[in-house]
Structure 1
């Protein structure tokens, strides 16, 4: 076995090391996610058992309750590190909540560490960079890649919500016209609709059943969804509760406005699609040219990384490229 490994060339050996590392981290994450529910249940049961031991009487005026302390990871050391080192964990929790997925802050940190480790290994062993630049690129990968992935999930969920939100308001209006209370109409919306709309309206009705304040529950949902269209909906309901009036007619006008707003967005998207395609082509040209040169003459291209002035030129090039991409993105983005 050892002789077979020694016969391999360095590139193949590096790829095997990277592949083995990825496989081990993947198996570890899968095991962690699969056993997380069981560990959480055991932790809850142990906390409840500690509240009142057999034979002990519970003090009056101090009702036992299961601890509601927010835990970001079932791993105690990681949970403490998150609370002590991260600058604003509450903001990050809210961002993860907006994805609609059950992603804890601990899992997010683990994925960031994996991305950082993989980035450093690939840059050092595959690309051939020194330890310093490899470590820097690895840290940037650990910060940027999970952040971009979470942003992608949030953006996709917002699109799904906006696509079905006017239909949800129509269902709500029909329920109100049929004489149903507002909470019951929202419950029907949660049952009949699908995707993020169903999830959010179900959360709203569950909060109302638990005795929460109507305005607080709506604004909490607006904070989770983070869309101006839903903010219009919340403002409409809160003002109507204070002033009275025909809620069904008001919601019909709101639904018509949201549909027209969506039509304008689609029209702007169609008109700006050519400019966006041009920006994507221009932004990808440096990377495409680098890949072609790397395939044709690897030694010529790698001089950029092996020469002592190479990292400086790469940094300047990436800075100028990022500035150009940012300017083009600003030019083709329209707020409605």
Structure 2
């Protein structure tokens, strides 16, 4: 029974950190865009029977190149396919094996250090799990968001370059290759990937749809659906893409306005959520014997766990109040 308050405190800390990570993980515009284009995408998904054999061959080649650590990570990590997709979205050459090693190190090292300080074992395990699971996930998400932001910022320029190529008489397949060579950053990388997929036998619609599924951005989904509809119904593709570039620029401007209007509320929520932890750490360094009562007195453990839980709920609500979908 003596370990019950410690377990409650460790569980409350984990719940609070999980809620704060979920709340401040970023706007849900991607999910909203995915919901808006889902019905249209389902009507325009093309079958790629001829590309299936090529894709299977590429998977076999990738599996042959995988290291033993990657194979081990794929066995023990939950949902390795989704994790590999997230790692590829960062644009970094990270592998499942490297991710597992970093997570294991971040879990074991803090747990051992906390236990060597004489603190409860469950507290060390709780902190280690939070760091080992949450920190790598946060870092990967940070790089994904940064790359997607860079992609979204230059994507209208790439569409306008595509429009100029179409108006000059180039076919869409060659124009995509030109955009991949002329535009730097994530936009050029993705267009070069689309061009390379077409060179190995995949159709334009299939290559674009695979890139759209991997990126997960509404902007590229709109672009993919526009190309698919135009190939089925006909029309002036250059004019349609020019209108799409204008819409994407206005969408980006609206996002910046909302970000500026909600920045004060987000800063307040972050300060209010972080201030108790900062004060706790400062008092701990000044007089650790005084703060050690939180790990010895059962009443303080229960009160601290309840406070952490309510703080997490409050931070979650504040984050959702300033989170807008476009």
TM tier, smaller: 0.7 to 0.9
Residue of 150, 153, 169 corresponding to 1:160: 150
The correspondence of residues 298-313 of structure 1 with structure 2, limited to 5 A, is 298-313=288-303
Shift of residue 132 of structure 1? 2.2
- 1:240 and 2:230 matched: yes
Deviation at 1:130, TM superposition (A): 1.6
Matched, 1:108 2:112: no
Contact 2:194 / 2:211 at 8 angstroms: preserved in 1? yes
The alignment status of 1:229 with 2:222, answered yes or no, reads: no
Shift of 1:72: 8.7
Q: Deviations over 1:94-121 (max 9, x none)?
A: 1111111111111111110011012212
Q: Is 1:119 matched with 2:110?
A: yes
**Equivalent position SS for 1:70:** helix
Partner residue of 1:70? 63
Task: Report the CA distance between 1:324 and its aligned residue.
Answer: 1.5
Q: Cα offset for 1:147?
A: 0.6
User: Are positions 1:189 and 2:179 aligned together?
Assistant: yes
Question: Deviation of residue 221 (structure 1)?
Answer: 0.3
Q: Which residue of 2 aligns with 1:204?
A: 194
Question: Is the 1:204–1:218 Cα contact (8 Å) retained in structure 2?
Answer: yes
The alpha-carbon distance between structure 1 residues 169 and 65, as it changes in their structure 2 partners (threshold 3 A), is closer
Verify the 8 A CA contact 2:110 2:127 in the aligned structure 1: yes
- Which of 257, 271, 275 does residue 281 from structure 1 map onto? 271
The alpha-carbon distance between structure 1 residues 284 and 67, as it changes in their structure 2 partners (threshold 3 A), is closer
Asked if structure 2 preserves the Cα contact closer than 8 Å seen for 1:121 and 1:134, the reply is yes
The runs of 5 or more residues in structure 2 that have no matched partner are: 1-56
Q: 1:276 to 1:100 in 2, by over 3 A?
A: same
CA drift at 1:294: 1.9
Secondary structure of the 1:68 match is helix
Provide the alpha-carbon RMSD of the alignment.
Answer: 2.1
The one of 74, 83, 87 equivalent to 1:83 is 74
**TM-score using structure 2 length:** 0.78
Change (3 A) 1:117 1:72: farther
- The alpha carbon displacement at 1:258 in A equals 0.3
Conserved 8 A contact 2:198-2:204: yes
Structure 1 consecutive aligned stretches of length 4 or more whose deviation exceeds 6 Å: none
1:269 to 259, 280, 283: 259
What does 1:283-298 correspond to in 2, within 5 Å?
A: 283-298=273-288
Residue 78 of structure 2 aligns to a residue in which SS? coil
State how far apart, in whole Å, the 2-side matches of 1:148 and 1:191 are: 32
Could you list the runs of 5+ residues in structure 1 that have no partner in the other structure? 1-63
- Conserved in 2, the CA contact under 8 Å of 1:73 and 1:106? no
**1:145 alignment partner in structure 2:** 135
TM-score (norm. length: structure 1): 0.75
Deviations 1:203-251 (A, max 9, x none): 0001111111211111110011110011000000000011111000000
Secondary structure of 2:67 counterpart: coil
Aligned equivalent of 1:316, options 306, 310, 316? 306
- Alpha carbons of structure 1 residues 267 and 304: separation in structure 2 relative to 1, 3 Å: same
Residue 310 of structure 1, CA deviation = 4.9
Cα offset, 1:69, TM superposition: 5.6
Q: Which has the higher contact order (CA 8 A, sep 6+)?
A: 2
